Structure 1
Amino acid sequence: MKITLTCNTGFGTGGQGGCLANAATGLNQFADLTVLCSGEEKPQTSFPVYPLGSSQWSRRLLATPVLRRRNDLAVLLSDLYFDKQVSKYLKSQSCDLIMGVAGQTNLGFKAAKQKGAIAWLYCLNNYLPFMQQQIQQEMEFLSEPTVATMNPIMLQRFLGECEQADLIVVLSEVAKQSFIQAGFSPNQIAVLTPFVDTNRFRPTPKQDEVFRVLYVGTIEPRKGVPYLVDAFIKAEIPNSELLIVGGTSTRALRIFMENTLSKHANIKQEFWDFSRVDPTEVFGRCSVLVLPSVEDGFGLVALEAMACGLPVIVTSQCGAADVVENAVNGFVVPPRDIQAITDKLLFFANNEPTRQEMGKSARITSEKQTQEVYQQTLEQIFRNQGLLN
């Protein structure tokens, strides 16, 4: 069997790239795998990975001051360029199964299915119209009307992908429920929970007494960072710090962060590339990770933090809630609930022995989400789809 896996991101870079690497590692065990991704750099792998470059039009748009606020159009142009390159590749290559990321593979699906291939839609978020609804609600809160929304053409492409897909693969039960609520049959959806390298992401001794709250990820509307900032300020925890690792995606959030950093010396912003540095340099300094997303298909950083021995606070609309057990390895709180986040931060700050025990439980949880378990789940999906005896 020849399998083509496609994703418009760098292989192994960021949350999407990490999930792409997860899927590639698993699929490579079953068949002749080819990975198509974006960028120029070819990673060192045991299977062929072809970077397809990136859209010049998308880069030009983002470099133009008047137009750079149209992030929705930049994403669409990037995905269209990538999808066209995938389609062109598939027209000249054999493929029995294509697994493509949602919003990026409409043309690729058409090209593959015309040659008789099976199509699996790999959705790294919740159901995209639900995601759009959450983003729009946040943009109203931020008074930023257009920049972070998904382009209508992207949503149309996604719905076309859903119609073509023989199976939709998601990262969590949370994401699966968003599809079921939209009218999809549970049998159309398979859950494939990500895994992390627990040797690379590992506990390390904390070197200071600062109660340090960590957020890692792009500061974008659906990630809910302003709710975390407000909760941290409200908690007024002595000898505490909020460390935000990542850049902003919109003008309103950039201004929000500038104002926040200028007013609060114990809120800091840093930039790290965990694909190139030891992640424990960041996780090892922290006490708890908070992922306050209003929408997140999983949130791989939560599992990475747990592997580093940190308890986590995530929302019920974040897929990582699948692996969080309340008061055991972290807490699940309602989205947009500042008071709930405040209360949990105060709990951890005031109960250091319990925080440490919950961190140990978090590590145990991460060790259960192994590559072997991932492989077994993927094998069962193949069997359920009649692709293995």
Structure 2
Amino acid sequence: MSLVVTTPYRENSILAIARAADGESSLECFYTTLYFAGAQPWASRLPVFGRKIGAELGRRAFPGISASRIRTVASPEELLHVLARRMVGRKLPPVSNAMMYWVKKRFAQGVASRLPWQAADCLIGMYAASWESFREARRRGLLCCLNFVNSHPADQNRYLRELAGLRGAAHQELVPPWVARRVEAELEAADMVLVPSRFVAEQLRRRGVPEEAIEQIPYGVDLSAFHPIVRKPERGDSFVRCLYVGQMAHRKGIPLLLQTARSLVGMPIRFQLLGPVVSPEVLENLPENVEYEGAGLPERVAAQMRQADLFVLPTLEDACALVVLEAMASGLPVVTTTHAGSGEILEGGVEGFVVPAGDRAALREALIHLAEDPGLRRRMGEAARKKVEKAYSWETYGRRVLDALAKRKERPRSARSRGPIGAEPTS
């Protein structure tokens, strides 16, 4: 089976699929944006912003995927988005967010315009970045697979309103109505909807997606990049280091985490926050036992995890947060919530604790329990590493997706068709 894989940004699960397909010579084409093979070294030497440009291009390198298979579309649009994010992203998050969705639409349009020259059996596309390419792929008889990496828009907005208290329709973390309509159209057009967790699969069932269209496969982790160290160096303090990695956002439960941290001032526990800022207001008035350390590339994240004592992700909504698997691979006990799809991988009390989303008392109790018991932290961290080693590599994930696609392709069109694609979603 020959595949066309498309993504407007670097996303680990779809890269794993592309690598697996390329490894067995079934990758017809990999569409992305703002990709320039071999440009990072010379870009980094530019006298103005060279280091930042080089870092951005480095993020768009794709080891394990043949450069001859990679095509770039919508690069000018993505460049504008990157500049907007760098210049006004923190001050005007809605502007950067609106541009992100605009780039996804332009990307899907660009892929669709090139598809007639591709000979393939299946097109795999990303959430909110695939409707136009699906329409063209369906016209040509290709199998369409939607990589559904988020919650359903209606559920994401519901959790943000109910648990984070966001009101109105203008907040940058809420999915805009026109984007929600695009996602609904993509769901309608897809032959297969790839989801990483039961948490998301159940949302889609409730929203009317047929059971036979849903394929649930949990994510993997880079076991070589994320690993524990044999012996942590001696530190000059006696604090337990609790690490959070992710967006600084209401959706990730940052206000809840800071409230919990404030209640633990005076106890020997310190919180380190690492990740990009989505909603600046969540970082106002940090407690004295919390330090925000900025965003970080994967290498920095891995290094911080090796130095931490435990990991926390108090998310209010997360399809399957990779940072949970990365923390487990790093030998850390994890505290997360029932609304984190990756929390389904944890056995409560064995590799960490899974607490109800939005429950500050339960979150506080779990953190205290781990902070006060170094033996428990060690046992849980060892159990976490062993669990991901057994079944949660990206190679395993990629192979499972290709197997699922092959089985779907073997079905007669009448058994998997969901009818003609609907009208273009209005924006």
* TM-score normalised by the chain length of structure 1: 0.88
Deviation at 1:72?
4.5
Residues 306 and 330, structure 2, Cα contact 8 Å, conserved in 1: yes
Q: What is residue 416 of structure 2 aligned with on the other side?
A: none
Residues 71 and 148, structure 1, Cα contact 8 Å, conserved in 2: no
Distance of 1:221 and 1:360 partners within structure 2: 31
- Over 3 Å counting, the alpha-carbon distance change for 1:105 and 1:195 in structure 2 is same
Q: Tell me, yes or no, if structure 1 residue 269 matches structure 2 residue 264.
A: no
Deviation at 1:34?
2.0
- Over 3 Å counting, the alpha-carbon distance change for 1:104 and 1:349 in structure 2 is same
After superposition, residues 259-298 of structure 1 pair within 5 angstroms as 259-260=285-286, 264-275=287-298, 277=299, 279-298=301-320
After superposition, residues 213-252 of structure 1 pair within 5 angstroms as 213-236=242-265, 238-250=267-279
SS of 2:113 mapped into structure 1? helix
Distance of 1:64 and 1:363 partners within structure 2: 40
Q: What is residue 14 of structure 1 aligned with on the other side?
A: none
- Matched pairs, number: 375
Runs of 4+ residues deviating >4 angstroms? 56-68, 141-145
Residues 201 and 304, structure 1, Cα contact 8 Å, conserved in 2: yes
SS of 1:328 mapped into structure 2? coil
Structure having the higher Rg: 2
SS of 1:156 mapped into structure 2? helix
Distance of 2:220 and 2:364 partners within structure 1: 29
Q: Tell me, yes or no, if structure 1 residue 326 matches structure 2 residue 371.
A: no
Q: What is residue 315 of structure 1 aligned with on the other side?
A: 337
SS of 1:220 mapped into structure 2? coil
SS of 2:243 mapped into structure 1? strand
Q: What is residue 38 of structure 1 aligned with on the other side?
A: 33
- Over 3 Å counting, the alpha-carbon distance change for 1:61 and 1:25 in structure 2 is closer
What is the percentage of aligned positions where both structures have the same residue?
A: 22
Q: Tell me, yes or no, if structure 1 residue 101 matches structure 2 residue 126.
A: yes
Residues 98 and 109, structure 1, Cα contact 8 Å, conserved in 2: yes
Deviation at 1:289?
1.1
Deviation at 1:39?
2.6
* More displaced stretch, 278-287 vs 95-104: 278-287
- The residue identity in structure 1 corresponding to 2:267 is P
Identify the match of residue 385 of structure 1 among 380, 399, 408. 408
Deviation at 1:185?
2.9
Deviations 1:343-375 (A, max 9, x none): 000000111101110000000111021245324
Residues 293 and 314, structure 1, Cα contact 8 Å, conserved in 2: yes
Q: What is residue 120 of structure 1 aligned with on the other side?
A: 145
Distance of 2:343 and 2:386 partners within structure 1: 16
Distance of 1:244 and 1:60 partners within structure 2: 25
Give the aligned CA root-mean-square deviation in angstroms.
2.5
Q: What is residue 419 of structure 2 aligned with on the other side?
A: none
Q: What is residue 13 of structure 1 aligned with on the other side?
A: none
Distance of 1:60 and 1:330 partners within structure 2: 40
- The residue identity in structure 1 corresponding to 2:212 is N
Distance of 2:36 and 2:242 partners within structure 1: 34
After superposition, residues 116-155 of structure 1 pair within 5 angstroms as 116-137=141-162, 140-141=165-166, 145-155=170-180
- Over 3 Å counting, the alpha-carbon distance change for 1:379 and 1:111 in structure 2 is closer
Distance of 1:50 and 1:186 partners within structure 2: 34
Distance of 1:314 and 1:54 partners within structure 2: 38
Deviation at 1:94?
2.4
* More displaced stretch, 36-45 vs 54-63: 54-63
* TM-score normalised by the chain length of structure 2: 0.81
Q: What is residue 117 of structure 2 aligned with on the other side?
A: 92
